[in-house]
């Protein structure tokens, strides 16, 4: 009974996040590009246990850059919002093609992940860092990285969190990366969350979210990371199914 109640409470908490912050909810895996090269598959709702183990893998935004402390980054804060246990793996400057400041590109990093982590959910974030690498080889690198990730954690659900704009208007290559990732996630039947399509960062809130100072270097501020955690929690709530809760058995009638 406790386990059922705990799971229900976790889902209710996520649902309340979605209700109290009525942003546009993510859709199922998006349709393929107009050329028809990719076939979209509907994504099934998530089913997460209470206190789910969630690996959040990404770039400097996942690392927590520009927060007053990296542990105030969105990948850590979202654990407070949801009750998850988050395992944070962020490398500054990294992407699917681009090696990072403190580590290699996504594919090599994924190859080094510990299979024993056994997460219930993997969220793969980013990355704007590939926007200067060009299109050549990009989709191949993404597919190879995702194949390795699925092989390493065959029992985990995988959600792709696309790049969020560090500047406005959204750069053309950032928008191209967003489209590429959406198409490739659709082909696998994976959920794709697009901060660009959902207008997470707009002219109205840009300076509240992004630290444009010389030290912030167009990364989310501490308040910006908290906002991103709220948005991510809301999106995950919107694609998570409520668990079935067994009805309480009727009490035995009193015998006079």
Residues 6+ apart with CB under 8 A from 241: 45, 46, 47
Q: Specify if 197 maps to a domain.
A: yes
Tokens of 82: 């949801």
Helical H runs in the chain?
2-20, 60-63, 74-82, 106-111, 138-152, 172-188, 206-209, 222-238
Range of the domain at 9: 2-238
In angstroms, the Cα distances linking 139 to 31, 100, 163, 221 are: 17, 19, 15, 31
Q: Specify if 243 maps to a domain.
A: no
What pLDDT is recorded for position 253?
53
What pLDDT is recorded for position 159?
98
Q: Specify if 53 maps to a domain.
A: yes
Show pLDDT as tens, one digit a residue, over the chain (256 residues).
Answer: 333 333 333 444 444 444 444 455 565 444 333 333 344 568 999 999 999 999 999 999 999 999 999 999 999 999 999 999 999 999 999 999 999 999 999 999 999 999 999 999 999 999 999 999 999 999 999 999 999 999 999 999 999 999 999 999 999 999 999 999 999 999 999 999 999 999 999 999 999 999 999 999 999 999 999 999 999 999 999 999 876 544 455 555 555 5
Q: Considering the entire predicted model, what is its pTM?
A: 0.82
What pLDDT is recorded for position 251?
54
Q: Specify if 101 maps to a domain.
A: yes
Query: Residues 92, 59: contact at Cβ < 8 Å?
Result: yes
How many angstroms separate the first and last alpha carbons of the chain? 30
Total domains, the chain? 1
What pLDDT is recorded for position 241?
86
Strands 53-58 and 157-161: unpaired
Q: Specify if 245 maps to a domain.
A: no
Q: Specify if 248 maps to a domain.
A: no
Q: Specify if 247 maps to a domain.
A: no
State the Cα angle at 100 between 98 and 101, rounded to 5°: 145
Q: Specify if 11 maps to a domain.
A: yes
Helix, strand and coil percent figures for the chain, each rounded to 5: 40, 10, 50
For 72, counting Cβ atoms within 10 Å of its Cβ (0-12 exposed, 13-18 middle, 19+ buried), the class is middle
CATH code for position 63: 3.40.50.1110
């Amino acid at each position: 009974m406790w386990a059922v109640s705990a799971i229900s409470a976790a889902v209710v908490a996520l649902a309340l996040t979605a209700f109290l912050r009525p942003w546009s909810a993510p859709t199922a895996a998006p349709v393929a590009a107009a050329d028809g090269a990719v076939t979209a598959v509907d994504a099934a709702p998530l089913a997460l246990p209470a206190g789910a183990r969630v690996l959040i893998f990404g770039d400097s935004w996942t690392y927590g850059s520009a927060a007053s402390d990296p542990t105030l980054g969105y990948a850590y804060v979202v654990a407070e919002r949801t009750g998850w246990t988050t395992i944070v793996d962020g490398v500054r400057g990294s992407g699917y093609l681009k090696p990072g400041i403190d580590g290699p590109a996504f594919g090599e990093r994924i190859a080094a992940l510990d299979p024993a982590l056994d997460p219930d959910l993997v969220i793969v974030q980013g990355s704007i860092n590939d926007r200067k690498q060009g299109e050549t080889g990009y989709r191949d690198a993404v597919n190879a990285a995702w194949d390795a990730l699925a092989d390493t954690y065959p029992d985990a659900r995988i959600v792709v969190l696309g790049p969020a704009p560090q500047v406005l208007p959204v750069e053309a290559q950032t928008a191209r990366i967003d489209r590429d990732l959406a198409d490739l996630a659709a082909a696998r039947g994976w959920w794709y969350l697009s901060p660009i399509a959902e207008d997470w960062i707009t002219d109205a809130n840009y300076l509240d979210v992004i630290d444009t100072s010389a030290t912030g270097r167009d990364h989310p501020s501490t308040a910006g990371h908290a906002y991103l955690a709220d948005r991510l929690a809301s999106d995950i709530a919107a694609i998570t199914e409520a668990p079935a809760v067994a009805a309480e058995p009727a009490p035995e009638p009193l015998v006079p």
